[in-house]
Amino acid sequence: MLGCKACGAEVAELLGYCGRCVKAADRGELLRPHMITRRSLGLPPRIPNEGTVACHLCANACSPREGERGYCGLRVVRDGRFEYIWGRSANKGLMHAYHDPLPTNCCAAWFCGAEDGLNLAVFFYGCNFDCLFCQNAQHKHVDEGELVTVEEFVGMAFAPRVKCVCFFGGSPEPQLPFAIRAAREVARRAPARGREVRICWEWNGAGNPALVRRATALSLETHGIVKFDLKAWDEKLALALCGVSTRPSFENFAMVAEEFLSRADYPFLTATTLLVPGYVHEEEVGRIAEFIASLSPEIPYSLLVFYPAYCASDLPVTSREQAIRCFRAAVEAGLKRVHVGNLHLLGLSSRAFFAVVEENAEKGEPRSPDEGYPDVEGRT
């Protein structure tokens, strides 16, 4: 670790600034680490905007020149139009899919109640964000992915004992046309097979709002879960950590809450935030939690303990103190269902964590109203 360029505090070497000082740093300085790492991986160093056609699958609205790829690394301009690097058809997806026993490490496992079966976990390659703390950075190596057709996907979804499908990655946004088409086929064929297969999404949520609506409708139809990874409230912090604005994630989250919550009779919408040491502290969590609570205080919110990964491998694991402060901030913001995931990294179960919170709390400080959550940790 090196000292912050502004204040000297210890920071991740590549980031250069601490979580406080990024808010006063120059935008170009914040984006430089992303440009360095992305060039080394053969990805566009910044969101391209010099072309004549734009991609509208996500909020980046990339406009690369002929023969160049978009920010996600999956879309390319050929003959004046966008297509995937493997061709024009959205009938194929680039992924690694596997069957995961339930209850799984899905971020919604602590409240959705899925058990005694399998989850089809769909790890998409490519992402419209560039998180320097990414816990699944292998998605950037698109040459390692497997092309799967819709029909092949449907076969995996109807394997014996499969009860839910979870799209994650990377993030599904760059491949939402395929994902929605495949999920729709699963939902359409399920009744004839005497099955209920839930469709779930774990994404950054910064997709085209029309596609986000279609994907969300499929989850509601099949009693699935929609999870947004709300990474940072402050825009400068978002640029430093993720390379792009996170504002579209919040806008889509609000849209889903306002348009779909009243139609659900179960907790289908949830959010997570990764507690990156030195960057995502209680102030950030408090702002995010206030935003969620303004939509509904019943929305489940999970704080995830960070472990060193990718370009933030020189940061420590989230401390117990940080986890406790962020938990309290979320509860104080008015949320009624707050969970802390990945507690095994701190050597704690959920019950042990809540015991520590109470042990260290001063009289009158808030506690979780739902202390009895099972000891299931969330996927990061």
Q: What is the bridge-based pairing of β-strands 75-78 and 81-84?
A: antiparallel
pLDDT of residue 376: 33
Q: What is the mean pLDDT of residues 59-74?
A: 97
Q: What is the mean pLDDT of residues 304-310?
A: 96
User: pLDDT grade, residue 356 (50/70/90)?
Assistant: confident
pLDDT of residue 90: 86
Report the sign of the C-alpha dihedral through residues 57, 135, 106, 147, in that order: positive
Q: What is the mean pLDDT of residues 190-219?
A: 97
Query: Which structure tokens are listed for 19?
Result: 């979580």
Q: Give the angle 179-180-184 at the CA atoms, nearest 5°.
A: 120
Q: What is the mean pLDDT of residues 334-351?
A: 93
Of 99, 35, 55, 103, the C-alpha closest to 239 is 35
Q: What is the mean pLDDT of residues 9-35?
A: 92
46: phi then psi, degrees, rounded to nearest 5: -145, 170
pLDDT of residue 362: 56
246-269 pLDDT, tens digit per residue, is: 999 999 999 999 999 999 999 999
Cα gap 324→357, rounded to integer Å? 6
Q: What is the mean pLDDT of residues 147-171?
A: 97
Taking 50 as the threshold, does the pLDDT of residue 149 lie above it? yes
Taking 70 as the threshold, does the pLDDT of residue 49 lie above it? yes
178: phi then psi, degrees, rounded to nearest 5: -65, -45
Cα gap 124→168, rounded to integer Å? 6
The pTM of this model reads 0.93
Residue with tokens 């402050």: 234
pLDDT of residue 1: 67
Taking the CA atoms of the chain, what radius of gyration do you get in angstroms? 20
Mean pLDDT over the full length of the chain: 92
Could you tell me the strand order of the sheet in which 118-124 lies? 146-149, 92-101, 118-124, 162-169, 198-203, 226-229, 269-275, 301-305, 338-341
**Which domains occur in the chain, in start order?**
92-360 (3.20.20.70)
Of 55, 75, 80, the C-alpha closest to 65 is 80
Burial 115-143 (b: 16+ CB within 10 A, else e): eebbbbbbbbbbbbbbbbbbbbbebbebe
Higher pLDDT, 371 or 239: 239
Question: 3-class DSSP state for residue 91?
Answer: coil
175-186 pLDDT, tens digit per residue, is: 999 999 999 999
Concatenate the DSSP letters of all residues of 150-210 into one string: HHHHHHHHTSTTEEEEEEEES-SGGGHHHHHHHHHHHHHHTGGGT---EEEEEE---B-HH
* C-beta of residue 95 within 8 angstroms of C-beta of residue 172: no
198-210 pLDDT, tens digit per residue, is: 999 999 999 999 9
Q: What is the mean pLDDT of residues 113-139?
A: 94
H helix intervals, the chain: 27-40, 109-112, 150-157, 176-189, 209-222, 235-242, 247-260, 282-295, 320-332, 350-360
Cα gap 337→301, rounded to integer Å? 6
Q: What is the mean pLDDT of residues 262-279?
A: 96
What letter does residue 20 receive in the DSSP assignment? T
What letter does residue 346 receive in the DSSP assignment? G
* C-beta of residue 233 within 8 angstroms of C-beta of residue 291: yes
